[in-house]
Amino acid sequence: MLRWQQAEGKRHALDVAFPPRPEEQFTTLCGEEMTVAVCDVPQLGGNWFDPTCAECRAAWLARC
């Protein structure tokens, strides 16, 4: 399942069944390894203010 996750200053796309939890790493659609922080999870008080990763957006659209 494709989903978006904020991490390390951008919103990245990933293909996983469940979203990563804080301090977990994940591989983005653009091929980067990211680590989720507590401030990246809206349900834990974080915000979605970071810009979308252009490479992840292109990879997402290519799958549609």
The tens place of each residue's pLDDT in the chain, 64 residues long, gives: 899 999 999 999 999 999 999 999 999 999 999 999 999 998 888 777 899 999 999 999 998 7
Q: What is the pLDDT of residue 42?
A: 83
The whole-angstrom distance between residue 50's C-alpha and the CA centroid of its chain comes to 11
3-39 burial by CB neighbour count: b if 16+ within 10 A, else e?
ebbbbeebbbbbeeeebbeeeeebebbbeeebebeee
Asked if residues 38 and 22 have their Cβ atoms less than 8 Å apart, the reply is yes
Q: What is the pLDDT of residue 46?
A: 79
Q: What is the pLDDT of residue 7?
A: 94
Question: Which H or E run contains 56?
Answer: helix 54-63
Supply the pTM of this predicted model: 0.85
Q: What is the pLDDT of residue 45?
A: 82
